[in-house]
Amino acid sequence: MHRFLHRTRIAGLLAVAVLAAGCSFVGARDDGGDTVTLVTHDSFAVDEGVLAAFERRSGLDVEIRRAGDAGALANELVLTKDAPIGDVAFGVDSTFASRTLNQGVFTPYRPRNSGEIPQRYSVDPKHRLTAVDVGNVCVNIDKRWFAEHDVPEPTSLRDLTEPRYRGLFVVPSPVTSSPGLAFLLDTVTAFGEHGWRDYWRGLVANDVRVSAGWQEAYKQDFSGSGGHGDRPIVLSYASSPTAETRPDGTSRTRALLETCYRQVEYAGVLSGARHPEAARRVVDFLLSRRFQEQVPQHMYVYPAVRDVPVPESWSRVAPPPRDPAELDARRVERERQRWVRQWRDLVQG
Amino acid sequence: MGLEIRDLSVRFGSVPAVSGVNLSVAAGEVVALLGPSGCGKSTMLRAVAGLEPPTAGGVLWNGADLGGVAVHRRGFGMVFQDGQLFPHRDVAGNVAFGPRMRGASKARRRERVGEVLELVGLAGYERRRTTELSGGEAQRVALARALAADPRVLLLDEPLAALDRALREQLAVVLAELLGGAAATALVVTHDHDEAFTLADRVAVMSRGRILQVDAPSRLWKHPADEEVAAFLGCSTVLSARIGDGLARCALGEVAVPSEAAGAGLLGLRATGLRAVRFGGVEEEPEVVGVVRERVHRHDHVRVAVTVPQAPELGRVEATARVDDAPEYEEKVRLWLNPDGVAVIG
Amino acid sequence: MTSSLSGSRAYPVTVGVAAVIVLGFLGVFFAWPVVAILGLGLGGGVGDVLADPATWRLVAFTLGQAAASTVVALLAGLPLAYVLARVAMPGKTLLRAMITVPFVLPTIVVGMAFRALLGAEDGNVGAIVLANAFFNVAVVARTVGGLWSHLDRRTEDAARSLGASRMRAFTSVTLPALRPALGAAVAVVFLFCSTSFGIVLVLGGGRYRTLETEIYLRTVRMLDLSGAAALSLLQLAAVVVALVIAAVARRRGERTLRLRQATDTARVPQGGEWGVVVAAGAVLCGLLVPIVALVVRSVSGDDGWTWAGYRALTGTGAGALEVSGVEAALNSLRTAVDATWMSLLLGLLASAVLVSLRRRGSAETMDAALMLPLGVSAVTLGFGYLITLDTLPGQLRTSPLLVPFAQALIATPLIVRMVLPVVRSIDDGLRGAAALLGAGPLRVRWEVDIALSARTVLAAAGFGFVVALGEFGATSFLARPDTITLPVAVARLLARPGELNTQLAYAVCALLMVVTALVVLIVERLRVPTAGEF
């Protein structure tokens, strides 16, 4: 009995100690006051100093809430539009923009410097969404592999169906992956409503590998990142080579700039926001020079605001594609599900 | 004053277990509840303890209804048939449990444990694990545990049933002394009349959820209230008789009975109430003759079943014979009535 | 004269309060959100989905792979359970810790490890089954091993003396006695496998789909709520059927067993028993291969070995995370501590209620209700939270406590599964004895139920903690950036290019394994056997 009591006492003390040491979220304070909630996707990242400076200057406390990937974000916003989970959202991309606009998720706001954003990024004449950054989904290659194997590097989508690139390409599935979906849209743009399926037949015949996620394709199967995979061609982003730079400043990989599909990411003030004024200031902040300048380094995308300089290494190893493909957002919204279904029947049927 | 059970009924669904029982236990009195298994006596004990909710009636202590008093506030102690010792505590931990619940100090607890272990003859057993105890020791620890809490009433549910015969008889005596010495108020459930008669001041015979008779052991033995009680108390034969002048006359002869009553009556006959003696046919034919139909050797006598040609309506009648003079199968024996084994029913 | 029941029977009041707490929690944090999100989708399209033969292929594949995974986990787990329960050997604590580690690993990482090890780049059902089993071997080994170590060995000896072979004694005596634990393990593993998400996605290569992955895709990517609702209903139905089967299997098995102290039943193996020990060793090696692969991956860089990932643990991986790896570890611990005490509280209250319910039907219904969260998609629950919790006071929808709440939903049924058989096997007479000696209803629970099941409760708490540590689905959905846990950090890091992020991700993974092993070792330390305790 004494031993038992002894042990329960120890366990009790342990529990108290654990709780007292702050090993609990009970009593963790939810910041009140001038908090503004920014709803965004998992890939959102910002330089701490830049954000802190904004909070200091504006007197706002920015709370960041993540909602999965870009697709999940858009759908969560639609689902909660009557009781929004925040004040302002960033990260709805051109693939999902139409859905949020149709559902009235956002309310119009025209930021001060919206004139500095190229017209081609605009998605809504009512200014409910403002472009913040631009990403490009492109085919990437492992330069070293091609040099070592004495195979000429591919340049276009069409090249990937050629026999000499057989068994070299890995791409994430459009069903389960955002860049995968962008690549499907890319092929639809490049080969048209009738040609894209033939193109994919060619890819399948050329032993393309389809993975569920970008992670498996890029981190595991691609030979150019970490040198572990067996496939030197992968679908990734125009900016990916910047993550693979060597101490000498060169990159082991290269994006094929003729294969790119553009995805613009937008921000907007949520309808029914509790702090609409603060929300507008956050949008302004996202378009500010200081935020725009750190976008490449932290989110691997290009700033949307005109003439914001990108890091020097970027212009060397990851220049933006000159004329990437892009589909009209409304058409994407209308046809996406059909394309995905057809793709599934074709590739995985 | 003391414990009073009034119109107590317990049902399990539609099955009545205890039906309208009335019984009182005076302070310092030991009452045994005697009955065959399944008669509801254990259920009644559990209802008294508060472990089983009564469907009607109630339990009173010194005139106050205990209906609203939870088990742990009744101050009743209980010894279970299988001990129910706490396996995670040693002997001292078990015995000290009651005092600990009352907030007794450590020193006081230790002292009390020593006292009651001494009382049940287990001095020095404090640190033993309960799993190391023999059956008899375990039951004594269970008793010590109940006593250590100074219960107002001690409830014993077949406390000795799980033990072998020799141990049972020996412990019954120990228990009787303990209960008597402590002037305890106790209710003992048992199916064994020897045990009931050893322990109790009064015995209540129970059957099918009802109490048939409550009496002092000697009176119960001699005067069972009806045939059922008589049968349970070992009377295997019931026969009509004429009673008068301290004698009862029946088909098996005459026997002295303590009854004051006169007129027609019923006798209950235990095996010991009829002696069977061989006579080998040499003597003259005795008054009552039986023919041995079965014989079984018991520890200190031979039990025989006989048929009586003079009274064929009795069928087979149980009787006893001496071991050194046991009759053979089919042998004719002389039968005579022994007043110790004869009860007057009613 | 009649007496009132309320006073003398204090149990019903306490039990009622406990039931209200448990069912209230389940109602607010599970039933309401799930019903709300399903309600949004009902009506349109549900019939079409149910009429589509592809849907039924999906159901068949989901159940098939779950059943196969359960069988493999069972076959692999039993030798380990035997070794844990019956073999006297040093280092068992370490063994227990080692087999628990797989349970917490992020599915994406394990998926990628199996993908590389088994060459399953194009999607492979065998790999899905093996990986699911890999995760759940610990559930089988611990649940079954726990009961096994308390079984009285003499019943087996009796069977042997009556002429039964070792195998025969096992199948005719031991196996039936283990049935409650086997039933519990099978039910839990089957639920885990049928709702397995990351594994199916990564190892299915997007080609193989289950109800769970399809619900995720329809909810998160397509916002096809009616399709998702139809599939969720199917999933729920499948889960309920599985639970009913488990309950029926359990019905005859759960009873008062002759339990012994654990140390009495372990001994050096004899003869054919060595075969089982060898099998257990093989399973252990199988478990270690992916783990070793992960560790190797965490220290291998572009040009040979590197500690870069581990050095980066104090940083945020080039801004990929709001917190450092170390802070994520602290978040994991905090969240898991909260989830553990919540699920322990709920689990013990639920066990108390389940033991007190006299009507078998109501007990089984409540038991099944507690298990349901294991069979519902994390994304369904997460989206349900989004549309319901804003009506509650206190900003719950964005509270950091939401994560432990969700984790507690998953850990509670596991704790109940472990504690309930032990509490049910406690002789009710002991409770009566304690009450008669002056212990009030709560004191009885403490002095008898808790004291007698203390070891199991402690083990269950440890397991609940581990479950919370490894939980990914709900956590990734609900965690705020500053409170993300280790598994979520791993997933975020892997979603970014760059070798350092990858190394850091695997280093975080290793950290998660170390934290888990430490927790298990600490819990094992507290589990010293005490006199007389089961």
Q: pLDDT (tens digit, 9 = 90+) per residue, C110-130?
A: 888 888 888 777 778 999 999
Mean pLDDT across C18-35: 91
Residue A321 pLDDT grade (very low, low, confident, very high; cuts 50, 70, 90): very high
Crossing angle for the helix pair A178-205 and A329-343, to the nearest 10 degrees: 50
Residues from chain A contacting residue C207 (CB–CB below 8 Å): 210, 348
Q: What is the pLDDT of residues B117-174, one digit of tens each?
A: 998 889 999 999 888 888 889 999 999 999 998 899 999 998 888 788 888 888 888 8
- The SS3 call for residue C118 is coil
pLDDT at C195 over 70: yes
pLDDT at position A22, please? 54
Torsion angle defined by CA atoms of residues B159, B165, B167 and B168, in that order, rounded to the nearest 10 degrees: 30
Chain B: nearest CA to A13, how far in angstroms?
22
C-alpha closest to that of C397 among C480, C333, C483, C340: C480
| Contact yes or no for A215/C112 (Cβ under 8 A) | yes
Mean pLDDT across B175-198: 88
pLDDT at C10 over 50: no
Q: What is the pLDDT of residues B244-267, one digit of tens each?
A: 888 888 888 888 887 677 788 889
Between chains, do C3 and B65 touch, taking CB under 8 Å as contact?
A: yes
pLDDT at position C67, please? 94
Q: What is the pLDDT of residues C281-340, one digit of tens each?
A: 999 999 999 999 888 888 887 777 888 888 888 876 666 677 788 888 888 888 999 999
Q: Does C387 touch chain B (CB under 8 A)?
A: no
Nearest chain C alpha carbon to A174: C206
> What string of DSSP letters covers A62-117?
EEEEE-SSHHHHHHHHHHTTTS-SSSEEEEEETTTHHHHHHTT-EE----TTGGGS
Window 302-321 of A: residues touching C by CB (8 A cutoff) are none
| Contact yes or no for B57/C1 (Cβ under 8 A) | yes
Q: Does A13 touch chain C (CB under 8 A)?
A: no
Q: What is the pLDDT of residues C487-528, one digit of tens each?
A: 888 888 888 887 788 888 888 888 888 888 888 888 777 754
Between chains, do C319 and A37 touch, taking CB under 8 Å as contact?
A: no
pLDDT at A12 over 80: no
Instruction: Tell me the percentage of chain C whose pLDDT exceeds 90.
Output: 18
pLDDT at position C1, please? 33
Task: Give CA angle at C67 (C63, C68), nearest 5°.
Answer: 120
Q: Does A72 touch chain C (CB under 8 A)?
A: yes
How crowded is residue A6: how many other Cβ atoms within 10 Å of its Cβ?
11
Nearest chain A alpha carbon to B94: A1
User: What single-letter amino acid sits at B151?
Assistant: P
Select from C40, C318, C397 the Cβ nearest to the Cβ of A85.
Answer: C397
**Domains of chain A, residue spans:** 35-135+263-317, 139-261+326-348
How crowded is residue B118: how many other Cβ atoms within 10 Å of its Cβ?
12
| Contact yes or no for B34/B199 (Cβ under 8 A) | no
Average pLDDT, chain A: 88
Chain C: nearest CA to A209, how far in angstroms?
7
CATH number of the A139-261+326-348 domain: 3.40.190.10
Q: What is the pLDDT of residues C41-54, one digit of tens each?
A: 887 677 888 888 88
Chain A contact partners (≥3 CB pairs within 8 A)? B, C
Residue A129 pLDDT grade (very low, low, confident, very high; cuts 50, 70, 90): very high
User: Could you tell me the CA-to-CA distances from C381 to C100, C331, C340 in Å, in that order?
Assistant: 26, 22, 20
**Domains of chain B, residue spans:** 2-222, 224-346
CATH architecture assignment, domain B2-222: 3-Layer(aba) Sandwich (3.40)
Contacts with C132 (C-beta within 8 Å, 6 or more apart), sequence order: C65, C66, C69, C72, C73, C192, C193, C196, C199
pLDDT at position A301, please? 92
Q: What is the pLDDT of residues C390-415, one digit of tens each?
A: 777 766 777 778 888 888 998 998 88
Nearest chain C alpha carbon to B55: C2
Window 95-114 of B: residues touching A by CB (8 A cutoff) are 96
Return d(Cα B61, Cα A11) in angstroms, integer: 42
- The SS3 call for residue C443 is helix
Between chains, do C481 and A219 touch, taking CB under 8 Å as contact?
A: no
pLDDT at A89 over 70: yes
The pTM of this model reads: 0.78
Instruction: Tell me the percentage of chain C whose pLDDT exceeds 70.
Output: 91
B295-308 burial, b if ≥16 CB within 10 A, otherwise e? beeeeebbbbbbeb
| Contact yes or no for B148/B109 (Cβ under 8 A) | no
Residues from chain A contacting residue B93 (CB–CB below 8 Å): 1
Residue B311 pLDDT grade (very low, low, confident, very high; cuts 50, 70, 90): confident
Q: What is the pLDDT of residues C207-238, one digit of tens each?
A: 888 999 999 888 887 778 888 888 998 998 88
A248 versus A109: the higher-pLDDT residue is A109
Of A56-70, A95-109, B30-44, C266-280, which range is least confident?
Answer: C266-280
Mean pLDDT across C475-488: 81
A27 versus A127: the higher-pLDDT residue is A127
Between chains, do C436 and B69 touch, taking CB under 8 Å as contact?
A: no
Q: Same CATH topology for A35-135+263-317 and A139-261+326-348? A: yes
Mean pLDDT across A26-49: 76
| Contact yes or no for A274/A87 (Cβ under 8 A) | yes
Protein fold of B224-346: OB fold (Dihydrolipoamide Acetyltransferase, E2P) (2.40.50)
* Superfamily of domain covering A35-135+263-317: Periplasmic binding protein-like II (3.40.190.10)
pLDDT at position B181, please? 81
Q: Does C201 touch chain A (CB under 8 A)?
A: yes
pLDDT at position B56, please? 92
Return d(Cα A37, Cα A86) in angstroms, integer: 5
C-alpha closest to that of A298 among C321, C313, C319: C319
Window 254-313 of A: residues touching C by CB (8 A cutoff) are 297-298, 300
Q: Tally the C-alpha atoms within 13 A of residue C137's C-alpha that lie toward its C-beta.
A: 31
Catalogue all structural domains in chain C, each as residue range(s) with its CATH number. 68-209+252-294 (1.10.3720.10), 303-534 (1.10.3720.10)
Mean pLDDT across C90-98: 84
A214 versus C267: the higher-pLDDT residue is A214
pLDDT at B115 over 80: yes
Residue B306 pLDDT grade (very low, low, confident, very high; cuts 50, 70, 90): very high
Mean pLDDT across B87-113: 91
Return d(Cα C340, Cα C346) in angstroms, integer: 10
Average pLDDT, chain C: 82
Return d(Cα C454, Cα A195) in angstroms, integer: 68
Q: What is the pLDDT of residues B32-56, one digit of tens each?
A: 999 988 889 999 999 999 888 899 9
Residues from chain C contacting residue A337 (CB–CB below 8 Å): 222
pLDDT at A6 over 60: no
pLDDT at position C6, please? 31
Task: Give CA angle at C441 (C435, C444), nearest 5°.
Answer: 60
